Amino acid sequence: MGREREGGPLEAPRAGTPFFAVFNYFVTHESSLHKREPLVTDPAKVRVPAYLPDTPETRADIAQYHDRMARLDGQIAEALAELDEAGVADNTIVFYYGDNGGVLPRSKRFLYDNGTHVPLIIRFPKKWRHLAPSAPGSVNDEVVSLVDLPPTLMSLAGLRIPDQFEGRALAGPEREPGPPYVYAFRGRMDERYDMGRVVIGPRFRYIRNYRPDLPAGQHVDYLWRMASMRGWDELHRAGKLNAVQDAFFQPRLPEELYDVDADPDNIKNLAADPAYADVLRKMRAANRAHLLDTRDLGFMPEPMVRRLSRDRSPVWIGEDEKLYPLDELVDLVDRLQLPSHPANADLVAALTDSRTVVRYWGAIAARTHRAALRRRAVRADRRGRRPAQTRRQSGRMACARGRPATGPLARGAAHCAQCDFHASGLPRLATSGAAGVSGGDRLPVYAICPPRRRPASGGIRAAAREIATAPDTNIGAHLQNVP
């Protein structure tokens, strides 16, 4: 089929010869929405998800995607007709599946249901119906992952499934019952980096955002070629979105929990709802177990992996417990991110650790905590009052105890010198005031280096260690020596 399919017409195999063929269709690829086409589907009749703004661009992209799906249906029908013409339809098991969810904004690349819920239909002819997991025309409610396809094909072919295969056989003599959960991840998305993991059950979806300081809506050039995505971003910048629509562009919570049956758009986060505490606990534990079982290498940043692996496979790094203490890292990151405020001792210990990968996660936690304090200050301003951390004193910012900003952080500072970063973005160590910090203690936190100006890590570690061990609660003097 020279059209939008990889591969030519099916050639009839010799009688009695087994065959295996894969055809990839591009008609519904994301690029199909980069240019507007004459529409068959009426844009006024499409459903706009609650997280997208209801605009002409959004409706037109959704309608065009429906048109593209209809074209795909026709091409699949032609492929099935080829099987009939070749005389092998009654002897062939056919799989129909996609490699991701939809391609509209907040679907492909993202861990919500619209991004990871792929189509899967398997047609068993009468001759092979005994290998099917359920009756013809039925819907199987078991959770399935695409890693299940290779074991399934091996099972149907009567072959032994290799031990290194992930997933399970969905059909055939080696079929296994459905698991309670399947797993997926979000990592590098084109030119942007993120780290998220998702646990998917029949009803609930648990998302663990390990970079809660980053919004889901990081600019990706290829995604922004879509008119609806550009329009969504423009409305965000203009402040014309409601809270649900604007959440895509805001920093995220570390945990998200959705009841997909009741909330297919995944907009009502149940993670903080006591009624779902047991569900949250079980799925959080399942995520941890899967991370450890697979030796998930995502807790080590890409540049660090490249530097350490050099000409070797990164797999060996993940297997080295000394170099990559995954159990410790997973638990540390949970302690730094899951509470509303990280414990002082955990944050100080992470920032002053001798291991680079541990300091990295301490810096991420510090960055996230700083952003939370800033957002709270903004909300307080909108309510007509300022929190203690940002009280203005004689034209300068003052810390929670009323001390005016002094030292290198004070010059041109947009926030309290003892509570936030310097406005210029230069790397500094600062302390958060008593308000908003667990236990009311003064907390030495931020040691983050911006990309274009990176001081020696030894200097930051030394300064952080000095601050952490200083008995004086007024640490302004110690900040003078920070690089």
Tell me the mean pLDDT in the region 8-28.
81
pLDDT digits (tens, 9 = 90+) for 76-102: 999 999 999 988 999 999 999 998 889
- The predicted pLDDT at position 12 comes to 65
Domains and CATH numbers, the chain: 5-178 (3.40.720.10), 184-269 (no CATH), 339-479 (no CATH)
Tell me the mean pLDDT in the region 282-310.
93
Q: Please provide the average confidence, as pLDDT, over all residues in the chain.
A: 80
Q: Is the pLDDT of residue 383 over 90?
A: no
- Of the chain, the percentage scoring pLDDT greater than 70 comes to 74
pLDDT digits (tens, 9 = 90+) for 179-205: 999 999 999 999 999 999 999 999 999
- The predicted pLDDT at position 412 comes to 33
- The predicted pLDDT at position 286 comes to 98
pLDDT digits (tens, 9 = 90+) for 258-277: 999 999 999 999 999 999 99
In angstroms, the CA 423 to CA 233 distance is 26
- Say what the pTM is: 0.79
| Closest C-alpha to 247, from 50, 94, 81 | 50
Token pair 């992996």 is found at 305
Residues 6+ apart with CB under 8 A from 483: 427, 455, 456, 459, 460, 463
- The predicted pLDDT at position 209 comes to 97
Q: Is the pLDDT of residue 432 over 60?
A: no
Three-state secondary structure readout of 347-363: HHHHHCCCCHHHHHHHH
- The predicted pLDDT at position 378 comes to 61
Q: Where are the beta strands (DSSP E) in 132-272?
A: 182-189, 192-200, 204-209, 255-259
- The predicted pLDDT at position 341 comes to 81
Query: Helices marked H in 238-301 — which ranges?
Result: 243-246, 277-294
- The predicted pLDDT at position 344 comes to 83
pLDDT digits (tens, 9 = 90+) for 131-174: 999 999 999 999 999 999 999 999 999 999 999 899 999 999 99
pLDDT digits (tens, 9 = 90+) for 23-43: 999 999 999 999 999 999 999
- The predicted pLDDT at position 143 comes to 95
pLDDT digits (tens, 9 = 90+) for 111-130: 999 999 999 999 999 999 99
Instruction: State the pLDDT confidence band at 312, using cuts at 50, 70 and 90.
Output: confident
